[in-house]
Chains A and B, each alone.
Chain A
Amino acid sequence: MKNKFKIFFLLSAVALFFTACDNGDDTTEVSACFTYSPETTLQVGDTVYFSNCSENAIDYTWDFGDETTSTEAEPFHIYDAPGTYDVTLTAVNGGISNILTKQISIDADLAFIVNYGSYNSASSTISAFDKYADEVTNNYYEYVNNTTLNSNIQYAYTYADKIYMLGNVADQLFWVDSKTLEQSANGIQDVDKPRYCIADGNYLYVSCWGSDDIFYGDLTQSYIAKVNLETNSVEKEITLHGGPEGLAIVNNKLYAALNYMDSIAVMDLATEEISYIETSAFPSYFEKDAQGNLYVALTRAWDDYVTQTGIGYLNTTSDEIEAFYALDGVGTTYDNSLTFNADQSKLYVMSSGYDANWNLSGAVSAFDVASKSFDSGNVIEGISGINGIQYFDNKLFCFIAETVTSSGKVVSYSTDGTKIKEYQTGAAPFMLLTAE
């Protein structure tokens, strides 16, 4: 009996030995491990790359904390809402598993509202718009950089993780981090009366009026500054008379709306040769459609009461204005007088005119791209102090500035013109910057 017991004990030990060998390792040796990058300033829309450093595991299960999972060894993930997420990796080897959870913080991908301010007395400010919290934080640039902007921002442009800003008091081009708004480098001063910019590869093209003499009829000092974004210097000043304002790039051609002439300049980016397209009124800004053609706002001088304003449709293959769609009161305030909706089925156009009480009243009209006509009636009307429009987050945002010395506001509307919400901003808001 004693031997039988010994044999049983021995067989059990052998069985246990082989069982352990079948499972490869004991439970303490499966180790779940992961890192992610980037580790900081993660925002909604950023791609988070997960690196797997688990040991002795064969299968992996990721739970990203937002009700999405993955079984890849090294997945990436994009969060679509801000918050703190528990990312859990379960490393499995047969029936043995190990779990590791880390908290990952995703910030809101802020949009930024540029408030022009008052030209003579103060510089611009920038407000941050958190669409998730549905709130605006004013003076955000000051908060981040602990100093004020030292110029009035004529236009700002998001490109390659940076926001390029054109300051028209200091006549400067500078840039900040597009996520954080942090400025760490000094700008460049070699742009005179900058108006608008657009990038192509390593170059930023800046329309410049050259000097204030343009207000007195001298159209000869304006030019396009070609800025090398690797060296951060103006590589070339390309003379372009007529006050270039809005720009667009299609088919390796730069289109420049000449704000003091009835024409659009077309510059071949390879040869820098310039040709002109005649327009029926002063062109100001462009919106590019899915076909690469351009809608252009056509306005008129302040002392011209005759010229019909509206929008033109520019075929960038033939370089001809194919059609003109009349709309009274299309102005030149800032860049945002035209804005497409998400699927580019509607182009919203800002206009203004006197109402019955002699107040200038702003309105937004919808141009139906399919039928090539303005919808009857305005989408929004009766806006005092309209200063720009922009489609964002499936809403239509109107920038409102009745003065330049008081807080302005942004009002969101649904696309049927129903007012949703008002947000107080800095003085004279005119545009909203979003990620590219």
Chain B
Amino acid sequence: MRRFVVIISVLFAIHVSGQEKDSVLDTVQIEEVVSYGHLQKFQSGAKIETISGIGYSQGQDGNLEQLLSRTMPIAFKTDAGGLSTIRIRGTAASHTSVNFGGIDLNSLTLGQSNFNNIPVYLFDEIGVQFGSASSVNGSGSIGGAIYLGLNNNWTDGFRLETRISHGSFGEQLYGTKIFAGNGKFEAVTRAYYYYRKNDFPFLNTTYRDFENDIFEIEDVQRNANVEKYGLLQELNYKFADNESFTFNIWLENDWHQVQQNMQTNLNNPDFGEEYQDQHLRIWAGYKNRKNPFKFEVNGGYVFDDAVNNGNTEDTIRTQRVLAEAFIEHDFSTKASYKVGAKAERIFPQVYAYSTSLEKEDRVDFYASYYQQFFRTLSLTVNLRQGFVTDYEVPFTPSLGLNYLALSKEYWILRFSGSVARSYRVPTFNDRFWLPGGNPDLAPEKGMNYELGTKWSYCNGDVSGNIKLSGFYLNIEDWILWKNGGAFWYAENVQKVKSQGIEFMTDWQYLLFGLKTLSGLNYSLTLTKRMASLNSTNAIGRQLEYVPLHSGNFFTTTYWKNFDFTLNGTYTGEQYTDEEDRNVLYPCFLLNAVLSYQAKLNSSNQLQVSGLLNNLFDVDYQSSWGYAMPGINYRLSVTYKFK
């Protein structure tokens, strides 16, 4: 019983201080996750999962899509390294915000993020919020939100990590992280370089030899190179406990050759197209949480530039200046509120927009209230109203509840629920692209209902969680581009209903005396197009690129300095169009990782890790018509000083 008293108090402490670590109950470490920690307190009932620990460290060499698809019940539409877009709970890629501090990474022109261009290596952990989160994040978080987390370690001394990774098809990653500080001032430098030639073999089914009756051929992917590098510099100063200044600057250069589909790869082997993204993201803030009146002042700047196929004349560039400030008042031990504002000035510079479009201002005012009742029930209310130049934004409230239903000697049972309204301001392309953009488009609107339960168990060497959540999400005025004859144009076209169940469980236990960590995620996602202005025969049918069933599992066993992991992902059948014509078949991909950690001395550590992806060499596609690699390996060596 004593253990659970501790656990419960830890859980509440986590809740109040805004962090949550689900994986291992008795080894919870309170860390300050600057990028999104403060958001969680006022989101009772919201489903927020954190990826850290072994699963996170195994994804260090890859991109965010690879990490999330193996650790979370989330579907992606992806090719073999060029473009990957998220589909949380059946929503579109533009319905999930990707947050770095107060910056939403999603392109203001396209509305979405390429998850292949988000390197896991630069961050300390990833948070995933399932369900609508517009009331705390503003426009865009209809299906969910991703938070890129950086821990403030307040380094005292010097630490260094370098990593070299080589893999199949010319994959290379070189990374380093340098931590230097005196306990008050901290400078953290993280940098990486990634390259992949991507010349993997595959069975090309678009081959046509009518004269010899042959309709498939062994082929090799061509012109799909990927090259990326980035630098993330932190400069942090701690005036006192709970009073700090943080400064983050993230420079990112992402270049890739646009992977061609199987037809073009076969018939136009020399054909290649390039795409380059360059980003500068700065987020800095002063945080004072010493008193019941807490406040933060943050500011940022974002430069996004895209060059399509080397054509620098057709500028695709946006710049943003951001400022955010809020106060948070804990006026009793059980109640607090937060009031804040966020302002953003956007300077679009896109060749297809009118030159008269110089800037757009966006201001959000928000207020949150947190109340705890009877030590077992907490409630939060969030209200947000945005204002956009010449555009009307809906009022966005949300309400959440957390309830600790039962607390026994070895287990506790919690329930949570929330109702949240959400919206997305149409992208600049949707509104201002000439021709076809429509300034009078209505914002996309979502209504999310969430109910979840979590059962946590801890007894001796066995601990774990079982989480079950159900959701119901309605999205209206979903924007699509329609064929207008002379050109395409944007319109509020469809209404989509998404409902489903997410089951997540993770367990730590002894297997033949060996510490083992296992988990399983399953997602049942029924996402249907309920109405559309387009004539379509896919009304009431599962939406494209949303598998009805999907899931993954992972299990890691530790033995001495070794750990061995098996993880697998299952993606059910997916429609790729509204014709019921091209269907992606279900596939199961199995991966294995073997790692060895050597402590050379008190200051020096070495970690060697070998990874085999797609062990069964499954021939599959994730985006219709685009080849994906079969079995492949990656070998990485990490050296850590102190």
- A-side interface residues toward B, CB under 8 Å? 118, 120-123, 125, 139, 145, 147, 150-151, 169-172, 183-186, 189, 212, 216, 299, 302-303, 329, 331-333, 350-353, 358-362, 383-387, 400-407, 409, 424, 426-428
Contacts and interface: CB of A to CB of B under 8 A. Distances in A.
B486 A331 contact: yes
A66 to B, nearest CB: 36
A183 B210 contact: yes
A178 to B, nearest CB: 16
B555 interface: no
B577 A184 contact: no
Given A170-B264, A403-B482, A121 B624 contact: yes
15 contacts: A121-B623, A122-B581, A139-B581, A145-B210, A150-B206, A183-B210, A216-B309, A302-B434, A333-B486, A353-B486, A385-B482, A387-B485, A402-B482, A406-B535, A427-B579
Contact of A333 (B273, B485, B578, B582): B485
Interface in B504-540: 533-538
Given A122-B624, A400-B535, A184 B210 contact: yes
Contacts of B210: 145, 183-186
A213 B429 CA distance: 23
A189 B483 CA distance: 30
Interface of A is mostly: loop
B484 to A, nearest CB: 3
Given A402-B482, A402-B535, A427-B579, A147 B215 contact: yes
Contacts of B268: 170-171
B435 A302 contact: yes
A402 B483 contact: yes
B535 A426 contact: no
B480 A403 contact: yes
Given A150-B208, A360-B486, A403-B480, 7 more contacts: A120-B625, A186-B208, A352-B484, A353-B486, A358-B438, A385-B483, A407-B535
B214 to A, nearest CB: 10
Contacts of B534: 385, 402-403, 406
A405 B481 CA distance: 11
Nearest to A121: B624
A302 B487 CA distance: 8
B485 A403 contact: no
Interface residues of B, number: 49
A426 B581 CA distance: 9
Contacts of B352: 303
B211 interface: yes
A331 B487 contact: yes
B209 interface: yes
- Which of B309, B534, B576 has the largest number of chain A CB atoms within 10 A? B534
A358 B440 contact: yes
Nearest to A350: B485
A407 B215 CA distance: 26
B603 interface: no
Interface in B175-226: 206-211, 215
Nearest to B310: A216
Which 10 pairs, one residue from A and one from B, show the smallest C-beta to C-beta distance? A360-B484, A352-B485, A406-B578, A331-B486, A170-B267, A406-B536, A402-B534, A405-B577, A386-B485, A150-B206
A385 B480 CA distance: 13
Interface in B252-298: 261, 263-264, 266-268, 273
Interface in B442-460: none
A144 to B, nearest CB: 12
A307 to B, nearest CB: 13
A171 B267 contact: yes
B487 A186 contact: no
A412 to B, nearest CB: 16
B491 interface: yes
Nearest to A385: B483
Contacts of A189: 267
B485 A407 contact: no
Nearest to B536: A406
Nearest to B208: A150
Given A150-B208, A186-B211, A406-B577, A329 B486 contact: yes
Nearest to A193: B268
A404 B483 contact: yes
Interface string B323-353: 0000000000000000000000000000010
Contact of A147 (B208, B484, B538): B208
B578 to A, nearest CB: 3
Contact of B576 (A121, A170, A384, A404): A121
A302 B582 CA distance: 32
